[in-house]
Amino acid sequence: MATTRAQPDFRTRLQDWLPRIVLSPSIAMMFVFVYGFIVFTIYLSFTDSRMLPSYDWVGIENYVRLWGLRAWWTAVINLGIFASLYIVICTAIGLSLAIFLDQKIRGEGLLRPIYLYPMALSFIVTGTAWKWIMDPGIGIENTMHLWGWESFEFRWIKDRDMAIYTVVIAAVWQTSGFVMAMFLAGLRGIDNEMLKAAQIDGASNWNLYRRIVIPLLRPAFLSAFVILAHLAIKSYDLIVALTGGGPGRATELPATFMYSYTFTRNSMGIGAASAVIMLMSIAAIMTPYLYAELREKK
Amino acid sequence: MSVATQDTAVRTGRVTRTFIYVFLLLFALFYLMPLFVMLANSLKPLSEITEGNMMALPKVWTLEPWAKAWSSAQIGVEPTGLRPYFLNSILMVVPAVAISTVLGALNGYVLTKWRFRGDSILFGLLLFSCFIPFQIVLIPMAMVLGKLGLAGSIPGLVLVHVVYGIGFTTLYFRNYYAAFPTELVRAAMIDGAGFFQIFWRIMLPVSGPIAVVSVIWQFTNIWNDFLFGASFGGQSQPMTVALNNLVQSSTGVKEYNVHFAGAILAALPTLLVYIVAGRYFVRGLMAGSVKG
Amino acid sequence: MRKLGATGAVVALMASTTLVKAADVEVLHWWTSGGEAAALNVLKEKLQGQGIGWIDMPVAGGGGEAAMTTLRARVTAGDPPTAVQMLGFDIQDWAAEGVLGNLNEVAAAEGWDEVVPEALQAFSKYDGNWIAAPVNVHSTNWVWANKSILDELGLAEPTTWEEFVAAMQAAKDAGKVALAHGGQAWQDATMFDGVVISAGGPEFYKQAFIDMDYDALSSETMVEAFRRMETLRSFVDDNFSGRDWNLASAMVINDDAAFQIMGDWAKGEFLNAGKVPGEDFLCFRVPGTAGSVTFNSDQFAMFGVGDEEAAEAQAQMASAIMSPEFQIAFNKVKGSVPARTDVDGSELDACGQKGMEELAAAAENGTFMGSMAHGHANRAAVKNAIYDVVTAHFNGEYDAETAAEELANAVEGAM
């Protein structure tokens, strides 16, 4: 995109540099507030910081202690269960809703905001509503019993092995509408003529979507994956409001673990170590995506 | 970048169609359920809630919890309700959204139309910054804000939100502008138009849809942020901190009806943004981030 | 000598109040719910009457956890609030960081040493210096009982653990929920406070939680305490997990449940529902713990401030907090009892008066002990390590023997 460089007078030189100058504040902020802080956190993870940062080096002790903690293992395993289910279910629901909503549905204008609105609510209070809905004593189970369906049972939130799935339900509720919007946008961008041609050729609806439409939605899948992955890893409010990490500590996630060790248990070193592990996992997941994404653009 | 309005509808039989409607309506119910619980409980007296039937409609309808949450509930030592905190949130959200959107637009413009060696790497680094968990930046951020003299002030909060929003806004604008024909930009350059002229005359006029996406995204995230607001808000605590103060109490009486009313009140601006701008939202996503 | 010094301080204090226009105080706290906040407003108005402005910084959540996070950000940014509501060991931890101010002058002038129980002073003083002013004393080993259920079943107030178990069995047989409980870590731990004393007595409690003695923590007595937790577990309903404590209180209030073990803040829920102590509900110590009081105390710690005016405002605020009128006015609303033992408690309700008397007696006998569940027996890291084990056991992950062993190891690991 080089401009003509016949006479590099001040004006053209400025023009040359202007784009970089415009970009520089963002880049500078990024290096200080993101990468600088990451380096700082990595450093803290090797110190004996407790309540406030300290600079006494203790080597890898924090990491050793971290991996010796049962709660950390629970948190990591939970994140595995939670993130995979959450991403898969959100994508499936989002895609189905988008495809169905795209069939010239009457009332689309009404349905769309209904699907989207959960994204607008903060979980501070919505969590309480969900907690009540899923509570067997006062929520759905109780309501079903009152309606006469005596054998209905839904008590996952009280069950150590199942509670993490209730977190998935609430999380899916919050973001699947947003994913729907992303897929809907993707669908609306597809050239209709191609579909018509395929339909004339006698392809069944199922094949039409499986062979043509869904492959065309690849960019939407990727964007949805990035958004969902980052939300899954950052999930914090959700846990705090819905289960408080319980029953016991059965629904602890790395984000809640990190917060509790850094801020409520006064073990900032261990908190920092868990943050570093989290960042490393994010990098491991994101780098291939970024690499593919950026190479394609060349 | 034509704004396609056609859908990918296929021919369907009556049975399939009924199934589709049932499916869509069932999900609408699923999405509305928590809102129903919140609304129903915000309209009944507290005694009805503690009696135990939390899923039922009110027996006695009352608007009092709403009035209380708005103007007379105890947030701190004074019974101010949520009202005064709205202004704080707005003073924080508007500049933060505006600045991060403008920076995102400029960054996206540079990264697609004025490319230079290493720009992809910079973009990659910027994108990765979206993923940093906020809990870990709290302490170093406090140090920096303290050094800058911005701790406990609205400008400080604006800075924080701009910093952690740029990654997303840049992503949106970059992907959107990537689809914009570079030939037009090149032609303008040959005509002697400068960097800002091209941005102003050519890029901005077509940026409407993606600006909506960026604004909605940033508005929702910043409006709903609690962690930064509580840590760096100082005297000008935003709405979420007030809402949190309203609903969180370890050893006091919990007025659930007021809590729910407050939660809906606090979410009204974002709800409004979603409902009003919802249609443009899909259009913006369509033209931008998703197509890549 | 001491008296002279005190008089001198009073003179200095009076001189400074008249000469210097005191600065504002910025107060970080988490008392945001109706009654608590209103009670705190009394303090605000009192200070305003003395020309001291009150800048409010409320941050609620997690029993002060959110406020402590905010505090850390504020201190790191070099901009601490003047006064901060704090609990137990947090005060000591902040003092150890060297960021707290000093209230010796006003404490000496008003003779706090004589009127504040020593177990409380352990938190309000660091290295012999007063750093915080205690507002109240909550105690955690209370049982709240529904009187009509007890009357119906012909049960008297249980005084021993066995009677308590029998009473719960009777309530359960009558189709009631015997024990209303919310399965959250801190609530489990709150019950554990009382249960440990009931199983091993106050001395054992001290060895285990305050001295953190490995042998006590892994002893047969501790196993017995965990067995008692299992007994309690068998009397809660199926839906206990995750329930907020006040919904558990509501079960007792609504005649659905017979008992709840909870700190005295639960009283507020009963009073708010129009119930009268002694007539509609009963308050008594966890059976087997009579004579012992496990407490937690809200205090206002003063942060080090540069200029004299601000320090002066802090001193006045501390003095106002410690004044008998405020102590009574505040605690009447809060459900707790005053932090000083020399005030007239006749304005408090029956439970409050009982609490005050028992506190004074326990302070006398050395059985006034910091609550483990509320961070007044050991530091945050240890407290949370204990939480983990107690909650895991209560949710059936360990049997009693394993739990005691895990407890000892967890405490040792967190120290």
Q: Which residue has the tokens 């902020």?
A: A29
Q: Distance (Å, rounded) from C-alpha C203 to C-alpha C199? A: 11
Chain C residues with CB-CB distance to A267 below 8 A: 381
| Averaged pLDDT of chain C | 88
The helix (H) or strand (E) run that includes residue C179 is: strand C177-180
Structural domain includes residue A30: no
Q: Let me know if residue B4 belongs to a domain.
A: no
E strands, C207-352, in order:
257-261, 281-285, 293-296, 298-302, 337-338
Mean pLDDT for all residues in chain B: 84
More confident residue, A41 or C272: A41
Residue C335 has pLDDT above 90, yes or no: no
pLDDT tens-digit map of C141-153:
999 999 999 999 9
Q: In terms of pLDDT, which residue wins out, A139 or A164? A: A164
Phi, psi of A265 (to 5 degrees): -105, 5
Residue B243 placed within a domain: yes
The pLDDT value given to residue C15: 37
Say which residues have a Cβ less than 8 Å from residue B220's Cβ, sequence separation at least 6.
Answer: A119, A120, B270, B273, B274
The answer to whether residue B78 is domain-embedded is no
Q: Residue B173: inside a domain, yes or no?
A: yes
Give the pLDDT score at B234: 81
* CB-CB neighbors (< 8 A) of A49 in chain C: none
Which CATH number characterizes residue B225's domain? Answer: 1.10.3720.10
Contact C242 A158 (CB under 8 A): yes
| pLDDT band at residue B56 under the 50/70/90 scheme | confident
Residues 166-195 of B with CB under 8 A from A: 166-167, 170, 178, 186, 189, 194-195
Tens-digit pLDDT profile for residues B192-236 = 888 898 999 888 888 888 888 889 889 988 998 888 988 888 888
> What's the rounded Cα separation, in Å, for the pair A259 and A269?
12
In order of A116, B103, B109, B123, B222, the CA distances from B162 in angstroms are 24, 9, 18, 16, 9
Check whether B269 has a pLDDT greater than 80.
yes
SS (H, E, C) B41-97: HHCCCHHHHHCCCCCCCCCCCCCHHHHHHHHHCCCCCCCCCCHHHHHHHHHHHHHHH
Domains of chain A: total: 1
Amino acid letter, residue A132: W
* CATH number, domain with residue A203: 1.10.3720.10
Task: Find the closest chain C residue to A239 by CA distance.
Answer: C242
Lowest mean pLDDT among A59-63, A283-287, C69-73: A283-287
Using 50, 70 and 90 to split pLDDT, how confident is the model at B287? low
Average pLDDT of span B29-34: 91
By DSSP bridging, strand C54-58 and strand C25-29 are parallel
A37, part of any domain: no
Contact C144, C281 (CB under 8 A): yes
Q: Which pTM does this prediction carry?
A: 0.84
Same domain for B48 and B113, yes or no, is no
Evaluate if residue C61 carries a pLDDT over 80: no
Helix axes B208-224, B83-113, angle to 10 degrees: 140
pLDDT over 80 (residue C2): no
- List chain B residues with CB under 8 Å of A100: 20, 23-24
In a domain? residue B7: no
In a domain, A207, yes or no: yes
**C93 contact residues in A (CB cutoff 8 A):** 51, 266
Residues B120 and B57 in one domain: no
Q: Do B39 and B179 share a structural domain? A: no
Looking at the fold, whether B170 and B147 belong to one and the same domain comes out as yes
Q: Which two tokens stand for residue B144?
A: 């920096």
Report the run of H or E that residue A136 belongs to, with start and end.
Answer: none
Per-residue pLDDT band for C380 (boundaries 50, 70, 90) equals confident
C1-28: string of b/e by CB count within 10 Å (b at 16+)? eeeeebeebeeebeebbeeeebbebbbb
Which residue range(s) make up the domain with B238?
Answer: 83-287
Q: Is there a single domain that holds both residue B102 and residue B165?
A: yes
Does residue B289 have a pLDDT over 60? Answer: no
* Residues of chain B contacting A55 with CB distance shorter than 8 Å: none
Q: Is the pLDDT of residue A4 over 60?
A: no
Q: Are residues B99 and B208 in the same domain?
A: yes
Residue A153 phi, psi dihedral angles, 5° rounding: -135, 125
Average per-residue pLDDT in chain A? 84
Under the banding of pLDDT at 50, 70 and 90, the label for residue A188 is confident
Q: What is the pLDDT of residue C9?
A: 42
Q: What is the CATH T-level fold of the domain C139-294+365-414, as seen in this structure?
A: D-Maltodextrin-Binding Protein; domain 2 (3.40.190)
pLDDT above 50: residue A120: yes
The answer to whether the beta carbons of residues B172 and B217 sit under 8 Å apart is yes
Q: What is the pLDDT of residue B253?
A: 67
B210 and B278 assigned to the same domain: yes
* Least confident among A137-151, A156-170, B154-168: A137-151
Q: How large is the average pLDDT for residues C3-20? A: 40
Could you report the per-residue pLDDT of C105-122, keeping only the tens digit for each? 999 999 999 999 999 999
Would you say residue A2 lies in a domain?
A: no
User: Could you tell me how many CB contacts below 8 A there are between chain A and chain C?
Assistant: 80
Residue B42 inside a domain? The answer is yes
Confidence at A296, pLDDT banded by 50, 70, 90: low
- Residue with more model confidence, C9 or A257: A257
CA–CA gap between residue A144 and residue C368 (Å, rounded): 49
Give yes or no for residue C351 having a pLDDT over 60. yes
Query: Cα distance from C314 to chain B (closest Cα, Å)?
Result: 18
pLDDT at C218 over 90: yes
Q: Is A156 on the interface with C (CB under 8 A)?
A: no
Q: What is the mean pLDDT of residues B18-47?
A: 90
Query: For residue C137, what are the β-bridge partners?
Result: C337
Report residue B9's pLDDT band, with 50, 70 and 90 as the boundaries: low
State percent of chain A over pLDDT 70. 95
Tens-place pLDDT, residues A204-259? 778 888 888 888 887 778 778 878 888 888 888 888 888 877 777 788 899 899 98
Quick one: DSSP state of residue A147?
T
For residue C22, the model assigns a pLDDT of 54
CATH code for residues C2-138+296-354: 3.40.190.10
Cα–Cα distance, C331 to A71 (Å, whole number): 38
Residue B234 shares a structural domain with residue B264: yes
Would an 8 Å CB–CB cutoff place B201 in contact with chain A? no
Of B157, B170, B161, B158, residue with least CA distance to B102: B170
Residue C18's pLDDT is what? 38
Q: Do B286 and A293 touch (CB under 8 A)?
A: no
Please give the residue that has the higher pLDDT: either A7 or B117: B117
Report the 10 Å Cβ neighbour count for C162: 11
Q: Are C250 and C146 in contact (CB under 8 A)?
A: no
Q: Average pLDDT for residues C237-241, to the nearest whole number?
A: 86
Same domain for B31 and B121, yes or no, is: no
Whether B59 and B121 share a structural domain: no
Rounded to two decimals, the ipTM of the complex is 0.83
Please check the confidence at residue B26 and state whether its pLDDT lies above 90: yes
Task: Find where tokens 């289960």 sit.
Answer: A243
Q: Which of C37, C59, C246 sits opposite B74 (nearest CB)?
A: C37
B interface test, pick of C76, C84, C249, C251 with most B CB neighbours within 10 Å? C76
Give the pLDDT score at B8: 63
Per-residue model confidence (pLDDT) at position A14:
77
Query: Which member of B31, B224, B290 has the closest CB to residue A223?
Result: B290
Sketch the domain layout of chain C as residue ranges: 2-138+296-354, 139-294+365-414
Confidence of residue B160 (pLDDT cuts 50, 70, 90): very high
Q: From CA C209, how far away is CA C374, in angstroms rounded? A: 12
Q: Which of B72, B91, B117 finishes a domain?
A: B72
What was the pLDDT predicted at A210? Answer: 82
Instruction: Look at chain B and report how many structural domains it folds into.
Output: 2
| B272 pLDDT above the threshold of 80 | yes
- Structural domain range at position A276: 71-297
For residue C12, what pLDDT band results from cuts at 50, 70 and 90?
Answer: very low
pLDDT of C242 higher than 90: no
